[in-house]
Structure 1
Amino acid sequence: MSPSSPIPSLSPRPRLSDFFQGLGLLGRGFGLIFRSRRLFLLSALCAVVTAVALVGLAWLLWTQGPGVLDSLWTRPESWYGRAGWYTVLVLAGLVLWVVGANVVPPLLLAPLQDPISEATEALCGEEDGPGFTVSGLMRGIVTGLAHTLARLFFLLAGLALLAPLNLIPGVGSVLWTVLGALWTMTWMAGEFLAAPMTRHLYPFAEVRRMLRERRALCLGLGAGVYVLLWIPILNTFFLPVAIVAGTLLYRGMRQAGLLPPPPDTTTGRPSLK
């Protein structure tokens, strides 16, 4: 492996410091984007679409959020009741902002995700992407759809299971926000690690295995994306940076022997390469 290779060198065994290595993948992603003209142009296009989507999402939450909460919980008359009402409004808005930002832009930019991941792997070198075949294309479409539905199910199921915490007076909404944020960070890691793994036809079980076995590493990536969403201007680049970082994480896992070779595009079985 070349010293200048962007692929991270991962420990074969989990370590607490993995969290910071996962967090640092965002910096590697930014650096790689500015080293590649193709990646930069794709990222700039993503940034424009993402900016429009984030502004629209913020406007929707600002204008519709109070009305929706009013329909579920009438605004109290007492000052302490109003304080609690506004606290729930703000905390729920924060979580919905992050969830919406990770659902709407990726849906709008789905056609660009594979080209960004492919360009990243091309810069990593040493490994050719899967060759084109009709069966490989169809298998990729089915695998991608299955991954997307599975990821959305786990995100919404986790938040739904945490929702009853809001019924606990006082600390319930705070707990829901904190635990919801941690769950969303984990989901983000799965979302962007799955991008290259879907392209290489790995089953979703392999994505879940990596999230489970390298929890700190994946949580670091998810936390980095989560924080990036709150930084004005830079947050418009969150999607391409996250895809590049997730692809680098995938290549690091392959290099460290944490993942088996990708399935063959014609048989669906692990490749012997």
Structure 2
Amino acid sequence: MRPASPVPTLSPRPRLSDFFQGVGVLGRAFRLIFRSRRLLLLSSLCAALTAVALVALAVLLYRYAPGLLESVWARPESWYGRAAWSVALILGALVAWVVGANVVPPLLLTPLQDPLSEATEAECAQADAVLSPASFLRSMTTGLLHTLARMALLFLGLAVLLPLNLVPGVGSLAFTVLASVWTMLWMAAEHLAAPMTRHLYPFAQVRRMLRERRALCLGFGAGVYLLLWVPILNTFFLPVAVVGGTLLYRGLREAGDLPPPPDALGPANPSSGGRPEAK
């Protein structure tokens, strides 16, 4: 008997409880990875490379973060000033580590992300085949442009929030909280966009899902964010996020929130006025 589909069944209308369903997508992703030999192999390779990247980031921050902070804020002489400086250092380093973890490993593992997403759809028996090499090239080009746009958006949001650190007292705490929420939303966009880009959806569709399914996407992004703080499991954060984002994409397709992907539409039919033929 074939196991139940790992694709989440989403409510037809957005609701606040979708947040917990978004977090639960990660559990579905973990179960699917350990159920599939191919996904487990790809995920293990991703985890090994991610572990190296995360350790390297931690070492670099440990060595250079204090000096970077001192270059903009000299270490105070008073005990309360040093306490505030230390809090700013810790909070800033934590945010920098999360941002680095979401930039460095994905760049290193770019060649493995599409195979992971494709294998996930194959396990769900719901893969949409790319029609031609031209579609594959369009997908690669679109994916690169979207990745650059998403990374620029991440850093732009953090740059807007950065001056909060100059506010005495609660400034650093406010920056950490708001930067974390921004990063969660960005994580949701990043990993939902991966399978959508592969199927040639425009980035406007990703933004629409973030807007219309805010609680669901925020829950998914929060789950990935929290996974980064769990020792050992955090090395699996990228493959779990890729698999989870693909499952979320399939769930949105089944719920009717997304139209059929552009790469699943046939060539224009002259008798239908140039409109794509329905499959």
Same fold, TM exceeding 0.5? yes
Letter in 1 for 2:212: E
Corresponding residue of 1:82:
82
Instruction: Name 1:125's counterpart in structure 2.
Output: 125
Alignment of 1:27-66 (within 5 A): 27-66=27-66
RMSD over aligned CA atoms reads: 1.7
Q: CA deviation at 1:247?
A: 0.2
What is the deviation of 1:126?
3.5
Q: Deviations over 1:91-139 (max 9, x none)?
A: 00111111100100000000000000000000111443323x2321221
Cα displacement (A) at 1:145: 1.2
Change beyond 3 A, Cα 1:97–1:10: same
Q: In structure 1, how many angstroms separate the alpha carbons of the residues matched to 2:45 and 2:127?
A: 27
Rounded to whole Å, the distance in 2 between the matches of 1:53 and 1:126 is 33
Q: How many residues align?
A: 271
In 1, Cα distance between equivalents of 2:86 and 2:277:
55
Q: How is 1:138-217 mapped onto 2 (pairs within 5 angstroms)?
A: 138-217=137-216
1:18-63 deviation per Cα after TM superposition (whole angstroms, max 9, x unaligned): 0000000010000000000000000000011000000000000000
Q: Please tell me whether Structure 1 or Structure 2 has the larger radius of gyration of its CA atoms.
A: 2
TM-score scaled by length of structure 1: 0.96
Indicate if the aligned counterparts of 2:130 and 2:136 stay in contact, CA closer than 8 A. no
Within 5 A, what are the aligned runs for 1:193-272?
A: 193-264=192-263, 272=278
Q: How far apart are residue 271 of structure 1 and its match?
A: 7.2
Give structure 1 regions of 4+ aligned residues with deviation exceeding 4 angstroms.
265-271
CA contact 1:140–1:199 (8 Å) conserved in 2: yes
Residue of structure 1 equivalent to 2:136 = 137
Give per-residue Cα distances to partners, 1:196-218, cap 9 Å, x unaligned. Answer: 00110111111111011100000
SS in 2 for 1:74: coil
Runs (5+) with no aligned partner, structure 2: 269-274
Inter-partner Cα distance in structure 2 for 1:67 and 1:271: 61
Report deviation, 1:267.
6.8
Contact kept? 1:261, 1:270, Cα under 8 Å? no
Tell me if the contact between 2:39 and 2:120 (Cα under 8 Å) persists in the aligned partners. yes
Unaligned runs of 5+ in 1: none
- What secondary structure is seen at the aligned counterpart in 2 of 1:103? helix
User: In 1, distance between residues paired with 2:189 and 2:89?
Assistant: 28
For the 8 Å contact 1:261–1:272, the answer to whether it is kept is no
- Alpha-carbon separation, structure 1, partners of 2:161 and 2:200: 32
TM-score (norm 2): 0.94
Alpha-carbon separation, structure 1, partners of 2:39 and 2:243: 9
Judging changes above 3 Å, is the alpha-carbon distance between structure 1 residues 118 and 73 closer, same or farther for their aligned structure 2 residues? same
SS for the counterpart of 2:76 is: coil
User: For 1:169 and 1:53, how far apart are their aligned partners in 2?
Assistant: 34
Is the CA contact 2:20–2:216 (under 8 Å) kept in the aligned structure 1? yes
CA distance in 1, matches of 2:140, 2:5: 30
State, as a whole percentage, how many aligned pairs show the same letter.
70
Give the aligned partner of residue 22 of structure 1: 22
Counterpart contact for 1:263–1:270, Cα < 8 Å: no
- 1:146 to partner: Cα distance: 1.5
3-state secondary structure, aligned to 1:202:
coil
SS in 2 for 1:63: helix
